[in-house]
Structure 1
Amino acid sequence: MAQATTLPRNEGGISAAVQTLSERFGDRLQTGQALREQHGHTTTWIENQAPDAVVFPTSTAEVAEIVKICAELGVPVIPFGTGTSLEGHVNAPAGGICVDMMRMDQILAVHAEDLDVVVQPGVTREQLNTYLRDQGLFFPIDPGANASLGGMTATRASGTNAVRYGTMKDNVLSLEAVMADGTIIRTASRAKKSSAGYDMTRLLVGSEGTLGLITEITLRLQGIPEAIRSARCSFRTVDEACRAVMTVIQYGVPVARIELLDEMSVRAANQHSGLDLPELPLLLLEFHGSEAGVLEQSEIFAQIAEEFGGFDITATSTAEERSKLWQARHDMYWAGLGLRPGAKGISTDVCVPISRLADCVTTARAKAEDMGLIAPMVGHVGDGNFHALLLIDMDNAEERAKADDYVGWLNNLAISMEGTCTGEHGIGQGKRPYLLRELGETTRFMAAIKAALDPDNILNPGKILSDG
C-alpha cells in the first residue's frame, strides 16, 4: 500500500497558529475532528493525515494573512479545493493549517472579446461553464469531477478534451499567488504570449501547493462550437481499438475527445447507467466544428475504425444522446465500484507516446489478469493517457500488497516506454518514488527551486519530492 509520509510536528507553533487564527477568523476556523479528517482525505487509499485546523478565507488578503502567521511560527499550510485529488495531495503529514478555498468562488471578470476570464480558485468548472453559456463561451478542460479551478491549476489537470484543447498548462494565462512569506505576486499579464523572463505561471501550474497558494486565475476560453457530434464504436480487442486511435491521430483528424473503455468498464457502465452497449472494448469520440466539418470527421473516423475491425459504429448530434454517453463515461469511478460491491477503488494513471499505447494497455490488461486483479481500464487515449481502477478488499493484506505491486509495475512500465508515471493525477505522496525514477537528477533541481521559494518548507510539505 502506498505510504503516507510522516514529518516532524511543530507542536508549539501549531498551537500558537490555531489560537491566533481563531482569534482573527472566529468561526471561520474549525477544529472539529470530522471536518479535519474530511480535509485530510480524498479519493485515495493513502492513510488519512488530518490537519490541526481548517480555515476558510474569502480574499487574497486573508490568504496572505494566514500564510504570514504560519510562516512566522513555522507551521505547515495545506491548500484545499473540492477534495477530488487521488494521490494524497491534501494530507497533512506534519499537521498544520488547511486553507479551504471554496468560499473564494467569484467569477471576477469575463473578457469575451479577448476570450479569457478571471476567477477565484474556489470556482468549479461546472459553475464557470454555466455562467459562460449565455455568452457563447466555454472552458474546455474537463477532468470528470466537478473540481475547483484552483485545484485543477495546482495539479495541472487534464481530462477528456485534452486531445484538442490541451491541459491546464495550456489554458492558464496568468496567476495571482501567495508565496511562502505571505507576499502576493502576479505571474503574467492577460496577453496571449510573452517572453518576459522566467515562466512563473507554468512553474506554479502543477506545483500542487508546494510553491505558492493560488488565489486568482486568468484562463483562456473557447467559443461554443457551431456543431458537436459524438460517435461510438466497438472492437473485439483493446489492441484493435488502440491502433485505430493511433491512426486517427496520425491522420490529423481534429477530434475533441477520444476515450477508451475496456470490456470491464463497458459492463460497469451498462449496469450503472442503464446502457446496452456490446460488452467489448469501446471508443467514444466527440467532434467540434461546423455542421459539415463534424459530419466529415465522423465519417473519416468510421472508415478508419472499420479498417481495424470496428463495428456497431453510431454517431449522433442529439444533445440528449451525447450527454447520456458522456455522463456514463464520467461516472466510471462509481460504475467500476459496482463490479465488486464493498471493494475500495484504487485509481492510478500513466501516459505513454501514442505509438506505445496499444502495447502498454494490452500488457497492463494481461498483467492484471495474471495477478488475479479486477481492474477496469479507461483512458483519454487521444493523448496516450489511461487509468486502471483496482477493486480491492482493503481488509485483505494480500490484495493490498498485490495492488501496490501492480501500481508500481505499471508506473515503471510506462517510464520504460518513454512515458510518464502520471498523465494527470499528479505526484502528491503516492507517486513520489516514480518521479525520481522518471526524471532522475532533474528532481535535484526541483528541490532547489522548492528550497529557494519555500526555505522553511511550510507549503504543503511531504508532496512531490521524496525528501519532504
Structure 2
Amino acid sequence: MDDLLRQRVSTTLQALLGDRVTDQPEIRKQHGTGFSYHPCQPPDWVVYPQTTEEIAAIVRLCQEHQLPIIPFGAGTSVEGHVLALKGGVCIDLQLMNQILEVDAANRCATVQAGVTRNQLDAWLEGSGFFFPIGPGVNATLGGMASTRASGTNAVRYGTMKDNVLSLKVVLPDGQVIKTGSKARKSSTGYDLTRLYIGSEGTLGILAELTIKLHSYPEAIYAAVCSFPDVEAAVNTAIQTIQAGVAIAKIELLDALMMQAVNRYSGLGYPEKPTLFLEFHGSPAEIEGQIQRVQAFASRFGGTDLIWEQEEAARLKLWQARTDAAPAALAMVPGSSMMSTDVCVPISRLAQCIVDTQADLAETGLFAPILGHVGDGNFHLTIPIDPASPGQFEKAKALNERLVHRALALEGTCSGEHGIGIGKLAYLAQEHGVALDVMRAIKNALDPNNLMNPGKLLPPVGPDLR
C-alpha cells in the first residue's frame, strides 16, 4: 500500500470515527493473533464502531479502496480466524455491546454483536431466563454465531445455529439486511440466518442478533463419576444419549486432565477418567434421569459418584471442568496451547478416543483429553514447550492424524472451533464437490474477496479470487 493511499484512508477513518481508529503497532499486533497458535499477522488499522451505520460506512470505504476487512469480537478463536493475512482494516466490535431488548413474552433477546456471554448472563440473572450456549471463554455473541459455537450445554440445548432467530448483517457492499424474525418458524425462502451462522466473517459482518432465551430450570443437579478407563466412561455417555435421557451436560476429563486440575485448583478428585454431569428439570424428572445414569455407570465400572444440588457445591464440583485449559498449560510452565477439535457420531466416539489415546502414547506428547462427549465432540489440549525442538511439528502431525481418523468415522474436522486457517486442508476431504457451492456463494456475495480473505474456504490456485 502506498503512502498516499494510507494517508487518505487514515484521514477518512478519523473523520468517521475520531479517536476510535488506531494504527498503533501494539494494538494492531493484539488484533492479529487471538488465542491461535498461528504466527501473528496484524491489520493495518483497528477501528471501533458503535453503530451498524458506522460498520456500513467502514465497509463502503474498504470496498472503494479494495482493503481487506476482518471482523473481531473478543479474539478468543483458536484457528486463526482473526489473522489479517493481507493486512487491511480490523473492525473490533467491543463497543457494540448493548443489550437492546429482552422480550420475556416471546422468550428472546436482541443484542449487539459485541455483547459477551458473561455480560448477557449477568443481565439475565434473576430474570427466570438463561442463554445456554457457553464456550469455555468469555466470547462475544457475534463471534459465537460467526463460528457456530456450542459448549457444555449443547447436548440438550443445541448450538448457536439452534438458538439464533434473526440477524442484522452488513453485507460486503455496505448494505444492511435483516434475516429472520422473532417467529419460531418460517418457510419463506432461503434460510439466510443459518447461512451466516458459521460463516466466520467471510460473507458479511454480524451487527445484531436476536437469540432464544430458555426458562431457568426448576431444579439442577450435578455429579461426577470416575471410571476405570476412558472407554468405560465414553460408553456410559453413549448409553445415556442413546437411551434418550434429557441430560444437560455430560463432559469427559481423562486421567491426565484430572491430574492437571487437581494440581491447579487444589482439588482431590480420583485421577481417573471422569464424567461431569448436570441435569435440568423438575425434581421428579431429575430423579428418574439420575437412576438411569447410575445404572449405566455401574454397568461400566463407574465409582466415587458424587451428587450435588446446592449452587455453591455445584460450582465447586464443576471447578475442575472450568479450569481444564489453564490447568493443562500450567503442567508445562511457559508453554503455549494448541487445542484440537473433532466430532464424530456418538456410536463411534469410544473408538475414536481409544485410537487417539494409542496414538498419543506413541508420540510421547503430554495432551490431556477433554470431551463434550454427549454430542461426540472432544479436544486434545496440547501445551507446546518453546524450549522443546520439534514439539510443535509433532503436535501438528498428531492433530492431522486425529482429523483424518474422525473423518474416516463419518465425523467432522471441527465440532465447534471452526475452520479459520487452521483446518483449511481438511475441507475438501469432508465436503467434496459441496465446496464448489460454498465458493459460488462467496463469489456472489463478496466478488472482490475482501471479507476476512483466506479463511474458511481452501484456496484455489494462489488466491481465493
Q: Does the TM-score normalized on the shorter chain lie above 0.5?
A: yes
Counterpart selection for 1:265 from 245, 257, 260: 257
Shift, 1:276, TM fit:
0.3
Give the TM-score, by structure 2 length: 0.97
**2:402 alignment partner AA:** L
1:112 matched to 2:92? The reply is no
Alpha-carbon displacement from aligned partner over 1:263-320 (angstroms, at most 9, x marks no partner): 0110111111111000000000000001121122122211110000100111110111
Separation in structure 2 between the aligned mates of residue 326 and residue 198 of structure 1, nearest angstrom: 41
Separation in structure 2 between the aligned mates of residue 307 and residue 295 of structure 1, nearest angstrom: 19
Q: Is the 8 A contact 2:102 2:108 kept in 1?
A: yes
Shift, 1:401, TM fit:
1.3
**2:198 alignment partner AA:** G
Counterpart selection for 1:26 from 18, 38, 42: 18
1:206 matched to 2:198? The reply is yes
- How is 1:88-237 mapped onto 2 (pairs within 5 angstroms)? 88-237=80-229
- How is 1:25-104 mapped onto 2 (pairs within 5 angstroms)? 25-104=17-96
Q: Is the 8 A contact 2:258 2:320 kept in 1?
A: no
Separation in structure 2 between the aligned mates of residue 356 and residue 276 of structure 1, nearest angstrom: 32
1:253 matched to 2:245? The reply is yes
Q: Name 1:349's counterpart in structure 2.
A: 341
1:292 matched to 2:247? The reply is no
1:429 matched to 2:421? The reply is yes
How has the CA–CA distance of structure 1 residues 178 and 408 changed in structure 2, closer, same or farther, with 3 Å as cutoff?
same
Between 290-299 and 454-463, report the one with greater CA deviation.
290-299
Alpha-carbon displacement from aligned partner over 1:38-84 (angstroms, at most 9, x marks no partner): 11111111111000111000000000010011011110111111111
Shift, 1:10, TM fit:
8.2
Q: Name 2:364's counterpart in structure 1.
A: 372
Name the SS for the 1:78 alignment partner.
Answer: strand
Q: Is the 8 A contact 2:164 2:212 kept in 1?
A: yes
Q: Percent identity?
A: 50
Counterpart selection for 2:326 from 334, 346, 353: 334
**2:64 alignment partner AA:** E
Separation in structure 2 between the aligned mates of residue 220 and residue 12 of structure 1, nearest angstrom: 47
Counterpart selection for 1:453 from 445, 455, 465: 445
Shift, 1:456, TM fit:
0.5
Separation in structure 1 between the aligned mates of residue 213 and residue 412 of structure 2, nearest angstrom: 28
**2:111 alignment partner AA:** V
Q: Is the 8 A contact 2:129 2:215 kept in 1?
A: yes
Paired residue total: 460
Q: CA RMSD, aligned part only?
A: 1.2
How has the CA–CA distance of structure 1 residues 309 and 183 changed in structure 2, closer, same or farther, with 3 Å as cutoff?
same
Separation in structure 1 between the aligned mates of residue 4 and residue 455 of structure 2, nearest angstrom: 23
Q: Name 2:431's counterpart in structure 1.
A: 439
Q: Is the 8 A contact 1:229 1:295 kept in 2?
A: no
**1:101 alignment partner AA:** L
Separation in structure 2 between the aligned mates of residue 145 and residue 392 of structure 1, nearest angstrom: 20
- How is 1:342-421 mapped onto 2 (pairs within 5 angstroms)? 342-421=334-413
Alpha-carbon displacement from aligned partner over 1:423-454 (angstroms, at most 9, x marks no partner): 00000000000112111111111111000000
Separation in structure 2 between the aligned mates of residue 182 and residue 234 of structure 1, nearest angstrom: 54
Separation in structure 2 between the aligned mates of residue 22 and residue 403 of structure 1, nearest angstrom: 44
**1:72 alignment partner AA:** E
Shift, 1:16, TM fit:
3.4
Name the SS for the 2:105 alignment partner.
Answer: helix
Separation in structure 1 between the aligned mates of residue 71 and residue 101 of structure 2, nearest angstrom: 24
Separation in structure 1 between the aligned mates of residue 217 and residue 423 of structure 2, nearest angstrom: 37
Name the SS for the 1:135 alignment partner.
Answer: coil
Separation in structure 2 between the aligned mates of residue 459 and residue 15 of structure 1, nearest angstrom: 22
Ranges in structure 2 where 5+ consecutive residues have no aligned partner: none
Q: Is the 8 A contact 1:10 1:75 kept in 2?
A: no
Counterpart selection for 2:236 from 219, 244, 269: 244
Separation in structure 2 between the aligned mates of residue 395 and residue 13 of structure 1, nearest angstrom: 42
